[in-house]
Every structure is written in structure tokens, then in C-alpha cells.
Structure 1
Amino acid sequence: MHAQIVLFDGFDPLDAVAPYEVLSAGGAASDGAVSVELVSAEGPREVVSGTGGLALRATAALDPGRAGLIVVPGAAGRIGEPGEEGGDESIPVLLGRTLTTDLPALLKAAMENPRVTVGTVCGGSLVLAMAGLLEGRAATTHHLGLDLLDATGAHAVRARVVDDGDLVTGAGVTSGLDLALYLLEREVGPRIAHAVEELFAYERRGVVWHDRGPAPAGF
């Protein structure tokens, strides 16, 4: 399984680095069954995060035609609205700026590719939602963004990780660890995922919601 982790201007470093480390360790534990790289819509470049000017280097362009996994992080910045002091660097503004890039079109192509699973961490699902790509899909995000998910036509679920088939979304920032470990278990096997958990001295937390089984009555 090859994983492409998407960087965009203002991204949250932990949203990207946590899955990168988990999946890289999964590759080592599985004798190379998993590979991972940092990509951007524009191709190789230094991408500045929303946290203190920290930059990571994308080494390739996002390729929606390549089979495997694509992970979209959220943004890091102020929690606020445009027009507030510092509002131009607020999380809603940073996420919204992705809509002016080639990223939405690339993600649309990825979601139409049956060989690709798209994963998101925190506000990454809002990037997809604001681009009109989550209508009718079950997804989660940071608890402050759940209303926006619903407003875009997605089915917002209060769970740590939501598995909707070829779309797997994580909730708050640290859920990137749980998302990546879950994907390792689903795609490579539970023994590999458990080995990485032991290596990182981390135990997964929260609920993994699946779109299957009967709907609960009276809720």
C-alpha cells in the first residue's frame, strides 16, 4: 500500500506527521508492504504549516491515479472568523484557501478512483466537504466542525474514526494516530498494527464507526 500525505499552506503538522510516522513504521514492520511520501497539489516544494512557520517538504505531486491511500490533514491557526483580528490566518480561512488551488479537483479524481482510499484527519474532512465531495457520506472531524459537515450534506458522526468504505476520517488532531493505526490494521493486518502500537507505546482510543448493521431505534 502506497500512502500519499497531502500538504497545503497552513496545514497542521501533527495531522500530517502522526500518520506519516505510523505508516512508515508499518512499512518497516511489514517488510515494505507500506510506503509513504509527502505530496502537494503543486508538486515538490517547501510547504509552510500553520504552526509557528514550521515547514515540511513535499517531494512529489499528488497523484490521484496511483492506487493506495491519500491522507488529507486539517489546518492549524486561530479559531475564528474572517474579519477578526488575526482572522486572515484562522482555521476556516486556511481551509477555505485550499478551494482556490488544484487540490479539490485532484481529490475529486481520487475519490472517483476505485483503487484509492481517502483518509482525513481533523479539518481534512472539511476540505473535502467544502469542495462538495462528501454529500451523503458518513464522516467525522474536530467537534467544532461537525455542524459544518452536516451543512455540506455529509452525515456527521461523533466518533474517533469513521469508516465509510473508501473514505476513512479521523476526529481531532491526535486522531491521526488512531486513523493510521486503524488503516494499517484494515489494509495490512492487525499484527502489524499492534507491533507499531507497541513500538510507539500508544494504545488506540475512541470508537471506530462503520456504516453497516441495522440503524439503532429510538435515537
Structure 2
Amino acid sequence: MKLIIGMILFEEVTILDFIGPYEVFTKIKDWEIKIIGLGGKKIVCNGSLKIEAEYDISEVESVDILFVPGGYGVNEVILNPQFLKELERLATGASYITSVCTGSLVLGAANLLQGYQATSHWRSLDLLSYFGAIPNEDRVVWDGNRITGGGITSGIDFALDLVKIIEGEERAKEIELWLEYDPKPPFQMGHPRVAEKEVLERVIKNTENSRATREGVVKEFLRNKQ
């Protein structure tokens, strides 16, 4: 019996958020990947890459692993009650509820992280608390059957961890080797805890507007719920 993974995509999704895990998942022959779209099957990713989903979310009866990536598009889906309702429906029967990057904010908006530890992209990590989640800056965070990965590139780490839990450590090791996953960041700037102060300050300044917009979306969502 195949394990069904539902990868939920939407407009302005970050490509690497789902392509990294997708590449890992394709290495397990008994895992069936369903690429699921929202409100139609043609998706324009952040950066303009176009992808055609196989299913609309309303057409999918159930999944074993629910996966939500992040990206600029999370702002729109957080404010889409019908999408969140469908997500909650799929989560009800899922064995694992997962995300990478700001996909965790979407899980939070669907009331799927209340009381759970979770991570996200470092620029949005604290916003998880608005949804009753407990922010954790680890690269991959496990809490019960909730598994969340940090920003963008952490998707590969997340996926290998998921393989380890379900298929065993040896299978995960084989995939890591096959993918030649041997990262050596040229500048060691990949997280605020290791970045140079000046670089961190520039990135924070350059993302002030997008950060403010996202926080505004989260607050609007909470107002709408009242």
C-alpha cells in the first residue's frame, strides 16, 4: 500500500521550499506524491516558474502526509477561509502534518499548530505565536506528528528526517548520499545566529516592508476570526 503525500501549492510559492522535499520523496518507490493546487491547477511560483498541479485541493479525499511550503503567496492563502477549511479537512486523516518555511504560518492559520512547537523562516518565526504555536528556531522541529522545517533550504533536511522516521535511518542515509547532500555554504551566513551583524542588519532593513505586510495579514486574519 502506497503512502500518499499531498504537497499543497499556491500562487507565489517558493520553488525550493517544495522542490527540495519533492526530490527526496521521489526516491521512495512506495510513496505517491500528489501535487495539489488551490482554486485551479496552474500555479505561477515566485520567480515566474509555472507548474501545473495534478489535483485541486477539493478533489483530494485524503493524504497520509500533508505538506505545505511557504513563499509570498502565504499572505493570500492565510486570508482564504475555504482553503484553510480544506487544509483542516485533509489534516484530520493525515498521519503527519508538515511544512517548510512560512508554510507553518498556513498550518497555524488552519488551527493545526495550537500548542505545538514549530519553526519557520527566521524572519517570520515569531509570528507563529499569534496562532498559539511555540516558536522554535531549530532547523527541523518535531512535536508529535507535526514536523516543520525552517527557511527554504531546510526542506531537504526536513525531508530526510521524515524518511528516517518512516523508512529508517539507513534509507535516509542512502538518499542523502545519492543527492550528494554535502553543503558547504561559502560565507556561513545562513542564519541570524551565525551571520555578521552588518549583513543581518541589512537583510532586516531590506525586508522591513514584506515583514510588516505579513504581520498585518496575520493580524487581519485574527480580527476576522473574532
1:57–1:167 CA distance, 2 compared to 1 (3 A): same
Q: Letter of the aligned partner of 2:157 in structure 1?
A: D
Deviations 1:171-217 (A, max 9, x none): 01001101111111111111211111011111589xxxxxxxxxxxx
In structure 1, the partner of 2:180 is 201
In structure 1, the partner of 2:13 is 11
**1:175 maps to 2:154:** yes
Unaligned runs of 5+ in 1: 76-90, 206-219
Deviations 1:87-138 (A, max 9, x none): xxxx3xx31210326321122123322x431110000001122343322111
**1:68 maps to 2:64:** yes
State whether residues 6 and 63 of structure 2, in contact with CA within 8 Å, keep that contact through their aligned partners in structure 1: no
Q: Letter of the aligned partner of 2:148 in structure 1?
A: T
Q: Letter of the aligned partner of 1:173 in structure 2?
A: I
Which piece of structure 1 moves more, 33-42 or 178-187? 33-42
Name the SS for the 1:144 alignment partner.
Answer: coil
Shift of 1:38: 1.2
Distance in 1, Cα, partners of 2:39 & 2:26: 23
**1:102 maps to 2:102:** no
In structure 2, the partner of 1:188 is 167
Name the SS for the 1:183 alignment partner.
Answer: helix
Distance in 2, Cα, partners of 1:5 & 1:46: 14
Name the SS for the 2:26 alignment partner.
Answer: helix
Structure holding more helix per residue: 2
**1:112 maps to 2:114:** no
1:131–1:68 CA distance, 2 compared to 1 (3 A): closer
Distance in 2, Cα, partners of 1:118 & 1:132: 12
Q: Letter of the aligned partner of 1:54 in structure 2?
A: L
Unaligned runs of 5+ in 2: 185-226
Match of 1:34 among 31, 34, 40: 31
Aligned length: 181
In structure 2, the partner of 1:208 is none
Name the SS for the 2:111 alignment partner.
Answer: coil
Counting aligned pairs with the same residue, the percent is 31
CA RMSD, Structure 1 to Structure 2 (Å): 2.2
Instruction: Map residues 129-144 of structure 1 onto 2, 5 A cutoff.
Output: 129-144=108-123
Name the SS for the 2:164 alignment partner.
Answer: helix
Shift of 1:147: 1.3
Deviations 1:21-61 (A, max 9, x none): 11002x2xxxx222213111335x1100122x111110113
